Amino acid sequence: MTAWLDIACAVEPLDDIALDAELVAAMRRRYRALRGGHVGRINFYTPTFKAYATSELTGCGKSAWPAVSITGGDCQLQCDHCKAKILEPMIPARTPDELWRVVNGEIERGARGMLLSGGSNLRDEIEYDAFYPTIHRIKRAFPAFKIALHTALVDRDIALRMEDSGIDAAMMDVIGSQDTISRVYHLRRNAADFERSLECLTATALKVVPHIVIGLHYGKLLGEWNALEIVRRHRPAALVLVAVMPFYAPAGRPFATPDPHQVGQFFLDARAALPDIPLLLGCARPAGAAKTQIDAYAVMAGLNGIAHPADGMVELAARLGREVRVTPACCSIALGDEVLALEGAQSGISIDVQQVIARERSQRRPRAALSRIPVVVRA
């Protein structure tokens, strides 16, 4: 049987992209041994796939899944990787009345759902108390409108209030390193607080979709495997993985780009730990060659979804025999499917493998000669 590294060599966009031969071989061995309802299938969210799927699909607008912040751009934590800048593009809705007006306006513009978030207090809690009645009102008035809530840290009572409000999905970052919690988040909490929050959320009927940010400790992998073990113990609806993108890190505390090979190893371990729940790679990850490496490892490790994949990933998955589906999606719809975790058994469009390969190759420039994938040699 053809080695996976040789298969990857046949995918033109992977030329000159360094892959770890030992890691790729381990991915092949472990993937073949996996058993679980979500093993094998992969869904790509891409805004450029319409041409090979169907002429009946229509593009989605930027307002399909808006992000709304109940604190505007304010956040007390000022974490080193974010500095509250992630909140600035969100639509502000600082009062319950303003939230009601914002949601009505977004629905008129075609919104199908929203991400509701906000800045944290010094205990990493988002103060939603005054907003729960309005959330409940929105769900009564617009039952098809999906609401995914970024929970931050919660206790049992807060988790129950979130459930009673009618939200569709609860999201939280799971952090497994005390050093990361203290230094990056400037937070006087511990990993046990993150586990208790996840435990409280998964004890409800909510669809719980935690996220693990790979490389959160200034670009290094530190607490990710402990975070994975926390997630494994509490069996959420799905897990979303992202790689840190510290655009706003302070000059005195810079972040390195996470090592793609270490990220790939984490993908391998995450798939083995959670073979029976959807495992998705979210939009956030480094650009350039690192993105191609990370995405290739995500395909080979057996992840179930990749938002806006690097060039060549659909072909790679097809050549590896994955059950490939594609969702023509803008960023906002990809976000919606990430947080609601591939909702629906027929998510995406089933595609013809040979059509994918022919189409992708027809759109690439001819090359003078075929190069080989560089192999990473371990010291």
pLDDT greater than 80 at residue 347: no
Taking the C-alpha atoms of residue 230 and residue 249, their distance in angstroms, rounded to an integer, is 27
Predicted local distance difference test score (pLDDT) of residue 15: 87
Output the pLDDT for position 336.
61
Using pLDDT thresholds of 50, 70 and 90, give the confidence band for residue 85: confident
pLDDT in tens, 166-190: 999 999 999 999 999 999 999 999 9
* pLDDT score, position 339: 63
Q: Which of 173-182, 264-273, 338-347 has the lowest mean pLDDT?
A: 338-347
R_g of the chain computed on alpha carbons: 21
Confidence label for 52 from pLDDT (cuts 50, 70 and 90): very low
Confidence of residue 37 (pLDDT cuts 50, 70, 90): low
Distance CA 190, CA 160 (A): 22
- The domain over range 64-258 is classified in CATH as 3.20.20.70: yes
pLDDT at res. 251:
78
pLDDT beyond 50 at 264? yes
What average pLDDT does this structure show over 348-360?
61
Q: Where are the domains of the chain?
A: 1-57+276-379, 64-258
- Single pTM value for the model: 0.88
What pLDDT, on the 0 to 100 scale, is given for residue 307?
Answer: 87
pLDDT for 270: 97
For all residues of the chain together, what is the average pLDDT? 86
C-alpha 9/C-alpha 12 separation (Å) is 7
Write down the pLDDT at residue 297.
98
Q: Give tens-digit pLDDT for 92-146.
A: 999 999 999 999 999 999 898 999 999 999 999 999 999 999 999 999 999 999 9
Q: In this predicted model, what pLDDT tens digit does every residue of 203-216 receive, in sequence order? A: 999 999 999 999 99
Q: What is residue 68's predicted lDDT score, i.e. its pLDDT?
A: 95
Question: What percent of the chain shows pLDDT beyond 90?
Answer: 62
* Closest-CA residue to 259 (of 247, 273, 243): 243
Which tens digits make up the pLDDT trace of 248-262? 777 788 899 999 999
Residue 212 in contact with residue 177, Cβ under 8 Å? no
Helix, coil or strand: residue 378: coil
Across the range 260-284, mean pLDDT stands at: 94
Q: How far is CA 86 from CA 69, 90, 93, 214, 367, in A?
A: 10, 8, 15, 17, 40
Mean pLDDT of 157-162: 98
Q: Which of 55-59, 163-167, 236-240 has the lowest mean pLDDT?
A: 55-59
**pLDDT digits 0-9 by tens, 3-15:** 999 999 889 999 8
Strands 349-350 and 323-328: antiparallel
Residue 180: what pLDDT? 97
Q: Which pLDDT belongs to residue 366?
A: 55
Q: Summarize the confidence of residues 317-322 as an average pLDDT.
A: 91
Q: Which helix (H) or strand (E) holds 132?
A: helix 132-141
Distances (CA, A) of 7 to 90, 148, 293, 306, 317: 42, 38, 15, 20, 10
Residue 349's pLDDT is: 57
pLDDT score of 368 = 43
Q: Which stretch of 24-28, 83-87, 293-297 has the lowest confidence by average pLDDT?
A: 83-87
